[in-house]
Amino acid sequence: MGRRLLLPAALAAGFAGAVTLDVARLSAPSFADREVSGDAALPAGRTNDLRTFRLELAFDATPSNNVQAAFGRDDLPADGFLAAEETDFIIGWDCGECFLRPQGLADIHTFTPEIAEGRRTLTASVRVDAQGAPQSVTFRDGTAEFTFGGLALTPFPDWLRPDLWTHLRVTVRGADIPEENVSVRFMRDGATVTLK
């Protein structure tokens, strides 16, 4: 697996408390399964006044590729890389299905859309209270809201707290995967992660 630390290409605070993290393009795959991943520290101040964390994964979907984003805390040890045991959750696309793997990564919850190819936007929105505790969660494939089969969110688990995440890891794999750019934008009403 090709893995590297993603160094920010741009990190800026803008209007309305927005914070943007643009990370360098993932390196070209060097393994037969064409897997490559990169890690990036999330910007300081990203959750100031945050009430909705909105994750948008925009990517080219095929029946044979995998695109995923993992969030968690880099603390075992704090080395700049998000290890499996530090991961709070992974969300993404795998061979024709949207999927979510909660903390512990033992379980996988899926949603299969009718059309498995083409440009796709997968959105997860987590509304939080003033203390950062999740209040509601919604998932969308394009404009259509959906649920992940078997995913229990009552009570809301701590792995859904944006204020506890320190790092992001993006992984892409598959014969049809192009090199990707990653952009993360944290705003008062949400955060956007774009692969393009």
Render 97-152 in DSSP notation, one character per residue. Answer: EEEEEETTS---EEE--S--SEEEEEEEEEEE-TTS-EEEEEEEETTEEE--TT--
| pTM more than 0.85 | no
pLDDT tens, 143-193?
999 999 999 988 999 899 988 898 888 888 875 544 455 556 665 665 566
Fold designation for 2-195: Jelly Rolls (2.60.120)
- CA pair distance 171, 4, nearest whole angstrom: 10
* Residue-level pLDDT at 5: 41
Cα dihedral 54, 156, 68, 25, rounded to 10, equals 50
**What is the Rg, in whole angstroms, of the alpha carbon atoms belonging to the chain?**
16
* Residue-level pLDDT at 2: 47
184 forms beta bridges with: 21, 193
Percent of the chain with pLDDT strictly greater than 70 = 71
Nearest to 53 by CA among 109, 120, 137, 166: 137
* Residue-level pLDDT at 14: 33
What's the mean pLDDT when you consider all of the chain? 77
What ranges do the domains of the chain cover? 2-195
Q: Give the pLDDT mean for 113-141.
A: 89
Q: Which residue has the higher pLDDT, 14 or 115?
A: 115
